[in-house]
Amino acid sequence: MADSMIIAIASGKGGTGKTTVATSLALSMAEPTLFLDCDVEEPNAALFLKPVLNHSEEVGILIPKVDEDRCTFCGRCAEVCVWHAIAVVGKKVLIFPELCQGCGSCTLNCPEGAIHEVLYVTGRLESGWAGPIQFGQGTLNIGEAMAVPVIRQLKQRYLPAVYGRVAILDAPPGTSCPVVETMRGADFVLLVTEPTPFGLHDLRLAAEVARGELGLPVGVVVNRDGIGDTGVDQYCAAEGIPILMRIPHDRRIAEAISAGQALVEALPEYRPRFQNLYQQIARELAVRRKGR
């Protein structure tokens, strides 16, 4: 394959089996694959892929540092900071790193050139290999609130080299900014859900983000098929969203996952089904790319 393909795997809520699907898809791929765990608040794909990590680096945002010898305490930096992350109190400039977004506006607007930027570490990127799968993950430091910059840097670090390969991005649960950041720039979003009213509710939200906000094609994997009702099927049929795979409610899967085993390693008969899932995504994308 010449084109790269970026598949984001998401779900409107946690516990739907998103990482189960993401890791088993990666382990079933015949194509060279890059796997990025973008769930930086709780990365756990490594438990199943068991990569050998050989690279680690700190990441964060650039925050202002004031040279008080040059500062005239004019207050301009505080005026331009919409995040209230910098304040001038008498002859003191106070910086609140946990509020700072690293936008650089204060530095640009300081009339005295008294601000330079320093790295404020909010997390870590690690990478390595799980057999033929190149693996990367981001981890947000405990107590830090801003997951988006860590996800952005994880993607910037590894996605430019994805040419000619498939990249699988395991998104955080939910539909907030970290999920949007993970999906942004993907070619396809695979939404994992359960056939229950709660599953349907969260699927709707996730589909609105992927299709509505980002304009991306989506497909669905129904996990624990057989429990619940037909609401997810009806919704997908009405919205024209393809259901690409169904994973039955099976006690053996739950046991494998709780033992830290990937689904396709515990139950290899699922491998062709995940290969088929990838082929369906590839076909959907080929049709879409042809139509452009």
- The minimum distance between CB 15 and ligand SF4, in angstroms, equals 34
* Residue 72 or 156 having the CB closest to ligand SF4: 72
- The minimum distance between CB 83 and ligand SF4, in angstroms, equals 4
Inter-CA distances, 45 with 112, 114, 128, 169, Å: 48, 44, 13, 11
Taking the C-alpha atoms of residue 39 and residue 44, their distance in angstroms, rounded to an integer, is 8
Which residues, including other chains, have CB under 8 Å from residue 182's CB and lie 6 or more apart?
A: 8, 10, 38, 151, 155, 169, 171, 172
- The minimum distance between CB 139 and ligand SF4, in angstroms, equals 23
* Residue 4 or 105 having the CB closest to ligand SF4: 105
- The minimum distance between CB 142 and ligand SF4, in angstroms, equals 22
Inter-CA distances, 107 with 33, 63, 83, Å: 40, 9, 14
- With H, G, I as helix, E, B as strand and everything else as coil, classify residue 142: coil
Nearest Cα residue to 117 out of 168, 75, 183, 60:
60
- Which residues would be at the binding site for ligand SF4 (CB under 6 A)? 63-64, 66, 71-77, 80-81, 83, 85-86, 88, 93, 100-106, 110, 112, 114-115
- The minimum distance between CB 273 and ligand SF4, in angstroms, equals 47
* Residue 101 or 280 having the CB closest to ligand SF4: 101
Instruction: Quote the tokens at residue 198.
Output: 């709660």
- The minimum distance between CB 84 and ligand SF4, in angstroms, equals 8
Instruction: Quote the tokens at residue 162.
Output: 């994805």
* Residue 149 or 172 having the CB closest to ligand SF4: 149
Nearest Cα residue to 167 out of 192, 133, 191, 140:
133
* Residue 112 or 284 having the CB closest to ligand SF4: 112
* Residue 106 or 209 having the CB closest to ligand SF4: 106
